[in-house]
Each structure stands twice: as structure tokens, then as C-alpha cells.
Amino acid sequence: MIPSFMTGLARSVGLSTVMRAAGVVTRLMPIPQPTMMVGPGASARLGQAINDFGHRKIFIVTDAIITKLGLMAPMIAALKAGGTDHVVFDAITPDAPIPVIEQGIEVFKAEGCDAIVAFGGGSVMDAAKAIGLCAANDKPPRQLVGYFRGLRGPAPIYAVPTTAGTGSEVTVAAVVSDPAHNRKLVIADTRIVPKMAALDPDLMVGLPPATTAATGMDALTHAIEAYIGHWGTAFTDRMALSAVGMIFENLPVAYDNGRDLAAREKMALASTYAGLAFTRANVGYVHAIAHQLGGLYHTPHGLANAIMLPHVLQFLRPAIQPQLAVLAVRARVGKAGEPEAELAQKFLDAIDAMNARLGIPRQLDALREEDVPALARAACREADTNYPVPRYMSEEVCEDVIRQALPKKGPARKAAVKKPLAAKKAPVRRRKAAESP
């Protein structure tokens, strides 16, 4: 908790120091990486590989839509051919609600399973991670919220993402939702990183355009927030910048033609690269705000990120102009050597253009003025205590940033947009010279 008597500047400097120190620890912490299988048919190859591990019974976690689409058939055929027993639990719903996870823990135990396959989007993968960790520690999900709260690691988890996406196949996080309190909670532990993952574009051809757009913008937000925060390393910067280039090139293609396997595969890879980056370098205010919108209004995670991204970047701009210029070059919306300020503006314009191209609205219909102060308070608390943001927001400024997304005709919006979002001194992150465009 940050004492209220601290001035904005003292708070910024204090938090910045604490978060930089945390960043040093994070860099020293080894985070495992799954063995990856990539390309059409990868999910069946994962099934074949799992056969060699001699598991007694696989707990396949998924959702009803994936079951209905028959997407698991090739992997299940491979498991059957190899004589590996399995049971399907397909009750997961968006945002991995705790009651559904609790149901999954019971079934996992009752069936005597000793490994887990997470087959679906981020909600499914996160639910599977939570089920595994809770079952291993005999604890309910709420007791494992936070960092390394369990004594034991889960049974081996294998992941098949069907969105691109969250990057959950490579991350230390399981985001779950608590419907009783309208909030999202994070369980973080390096032992819940899957052992193997299959990126199979065949599974993504039926992903509807709106979901393709929202999940792709989630991946883009991971890459951007990992790159502009304080905890970036040469590895995370490389992953994040590669993801940005790949997403700018392939997301509009996958959105227009879902059957384009090459674009789907590139998006799946980009989502994984962004996941590798942000699970080490973390995220920032876009996610801090999106998590509150998801908790309160059940706004799809990627959509909430996409709507907030331009407004947060606009606020951060004074602190991250060099990084925005690098991003513009990697997104191929500008050329190395152009003036930094022009490149930065080009990148901000490109984000707006990408959202428009993907049919993402500028405003969030569900957002209500009376909720804004509480949303801002919770977002600032989440960011202050977790994220290495390049510039700190007061709650008041955060309110104004959130108000940018109020539905157009709301009376509060007119007043809100007149307020400037700048005017707060905050530490600026220094980048290595090699990263300038």
C-alpha cells in the first residue's frame, strides 16, 4: 500500500526504485520454457509425444465450443493410438471463473489423473494451470493467489493454445476470475509453465474475426508493455520487437481471411514471443485497467486492452518517445533515421489505424462514469504493486485516461476529454543506445 501523504513525485520515485530492485530479482529468476511444436498438425504430434511419457491418465481441460468444433480429434486419436487413457473436462467459461476451477479440481482428483492437457484459449489454459496447482497443494484457488503460494508444483501441464493470444502457454501466470467480487486475480508460479506446447494453425482457422482481432491486440499489448517497461532485457526486447513486427504484418491478414494458415501460424508464434517477453518483463497500465474492466463488466480481455492501449500510450509518451520510435520502425510504419518525434507519432497513429482496421471500437459501451473512480483506484493499486511502468499515474490522471473510453454520448465524457492527461513529473526510463532506431 502506498501511504496517501506521499507526494506524487515522491511516490513515483519511491515506486520506481522498488520496482527496479524487483526487476533485478526477476532477471535472476530462471523461468522454464516449454518444448514447442509448431505448424499444421502440431497438436497431434504433441499427443504422440505425450504417449512417450507414460502417464496413467490425462486430464484434458477445454471448453464446450472447442468440443463442439471437434478441434481435439487429431490429438485424442494420437493419445488413443499410443494407449494413453484420458478424460475430457470441457466446462471452462471465459475468464476462468473460480467455481468452475473448483469443479475441475474435484474431477481431476476423482479420475486419478497424473498429467494435464490445456486445450483452448487463455481462459482454458489458465484454468488448467490453476486446477493443477490447487490439486497438488490441496488448496482452493483463492489461497494460491499471488506469487509462489503453493508448496508443491502441479502434475505436468501440456498446452495447445487455440487463440493467439495470451501467450499463457509460456507464462508463469494463471488469471482467474472471482465472480463473487467482480474481480480478476493472478496466481503466479514458475512451476505452472507448461512442459510442452503445440502451436497448430489448423485449430485457429475457425476463430471468429472479432476474437481474432481482440486476442491479437492482447498479444500486441503484451509485446508493447514488456518493451516499454523497466524490466526489459536483451532477450525480452528481442522477443517483444519480433512480435510487434509479426503482428502488424499478419493480424490484418488473419482477420480478413481466417483460413490463411501462414498468417495464423505467424500470429501463434508472435503471441508466444510476446508471452516469453512479458512473463519476464511484465505488463503495465493497459493491463492494470483492462483487468478491472474484465472483472466488473466481463469485457473480453483483448478488447479491453485494445481500447485502452492508445489512451495509455498517449499518457506515457513523454517518457517513452525513443521506444515508440523503435516500435514504429519494427512495425514498418516508419524508417530508421526519421526524426524520433515523428516516428513516435507514426506508431501512435498506427495503433489507432490497426484498431479501426480490426473493427475495434474507441469506446467501451459498458463503461459508466460512476464506476470510474473505483476502477482507477484498483488499476493504480495493481500497477503500483506489480508493474515496472515507465511513468506513474495518479489516480486522478488514471480516471481521466479511463474516461477517454466512456461511451460517446455520456455527459461525463465531454467534460473529461477537456482535461489534459500530462502534467505529472515522473522518472523516464533510459534505453541502451543500440536500441535506438
Ligand X SMILES: NC(=O)c1ccc[n+]([C@@H]2O[C@H](COP(=O)([O-])OP(=O)(O)OC[C@H]3O[C@@H](n4cnc5c(N)ncnc54)[C@H](O)[C@@H]3O)[C@@H](O)[C@H]2O)c1
Rounded to a whole number of angstroms, the minimum distance from the CB of residue 194 to ligand X is 11
175 binds ligand X (CB under 6 A): yes
Judged by CB under 5 A, the residue of 218, 237, 265, 384 near Fe ion is: 218
Residue 263, C-alpha cell as written in the block:
498468417
Cα distance between residue 14 and residue 55, in whole Å? 49
Residue with Cβ nearer ligand X (221 or 242): 221
Q: Which amino acid is at 206?
A: G
Burial of 70 (0-12, 13-18, 19+ CB in 10 A): exposed
63 binds ligand X (CB under 6 A): yes
326 binds ligand X (CB under 6 A): no
Q: Are 173 and 279 in contact (CB under 8 A)?
A: yes
236 binds ligand X (CB under 6 A): no
Closest CA to 158 of 185, 203, 124, 108: 124
Segment near ligand X (CB under 6 A); pick from 43-51, 172-180, 379-387, 405-413: 172-180
104 binds ligand X (CB under 6 A): no
Q: Which does 215 bind (CB under 5 to 8 A by kind): Fe ion, ligand X, none?
A: ligand X
Of 183-202, which residues contact ligand X (CB under 6 A)? 184
Rounded to a whole number of angstroms, the minimum distance from the CB of residue 94 to ligand X is 4
Cα distance between residue 424 and residue 410, in whole Å? 27
284 binds ligand X (CB under 6 A): no
Segment near ligand X (CB under 6 A); pick from 12-20, 53-61, 167-175, 419-427: 167-175
Backbone angles phi, psi at 353, to 5 degrees: -65, -40
Q: Which does 174 bind (CB under 5 to 8 A by kind): Fe ion, ligand X, none?
A: ligand X
Segment near Fe ion (CB under 5 A); pick from 12-20, 217-225, 242-250, 415-423: 217-225
173 binds ligand X (CB under 6 A): yes
Cα distance between residue 102 and residue 96, in whole Å? 10
Q: Which residue is nearest to ligand X (CB)?
A: 121
Rounded to a whole number of angstroms, the minimum distance from the CB of residue 364 to ligand X is 16
Segment near Fe ion (CB under 5 A); pick from 182-190, 215-223, 236-244, 399-407: 215-223
Residue with Cβ nearer ligand X (15 or 276): 276
96 binds ligand X (CB under 6 A): yes
Judged by CB under 6 A, the residue of 12, 16, 84, 168 near ligand X is: 168
Residue with Cβ nearer ligand X (65 or 91): 65
Judged by CB under 6 A, the residue of 23, 47, 104, 121 near ligand X is: 121
Judged by CB under 6 A, the residue of 74, 97, 141, 165 near ligand X is: 165
301 binds ligand X (CB under 6 A): yes
Binding site for Fe ion (CB under 5 A): 218
Applying CB under 6 A, which residues contact ligand X? 63, 65, 69, 94-96, 120-124, 126, 162-163, 165-168, 171, 173-175, 184, 203-204, 206-207, 211, 215, 218, 301-302
